[in-house]
Homo-oligomer: A and B are copies of this chain.
């Protein structure tokens, strides 16, 4: 899961907020739109998988200038 850092302005989130308000969902106070990336991994050691995914995020999947990331592994070698 990769999303824009809180300090970075997210016009898409604003537009979605407005659209939700227009539809009557007034309880929505804010929306931020990010990316959800699911990786299917060949089986392996979860420890090692964690380190590798961490590295993939840092090197490719997330741009540290504007984005943060977070991920979790689930059984069957999936990360997201």
Point out residues on A near B: beta carbons under 8 Å: 1-3, 16, 19-20, 23, 25-42, 44, 49, 52, 56, 59-61, 77
Contacts and interface: CB of A to CB of B under 8 A. Distances in A.
27 contacts: A2-B36, A16-B37, A16-B60, A16-B61, A19-B60, A20-B39, A23-B56, A27-B41, A27-B44, A27-B52, A28-B39, A28-B40, A28-B42, A28-B56, A29-B40, A29-B41, A29-B42, A29-B77, A31-B37, A31-B38, A31-B39, A32-B37, A33-B35, A34-B35, A34-B36, A34-B37, A35-B36
B35 A30 contact: no
A44 B20 CA distance: 17
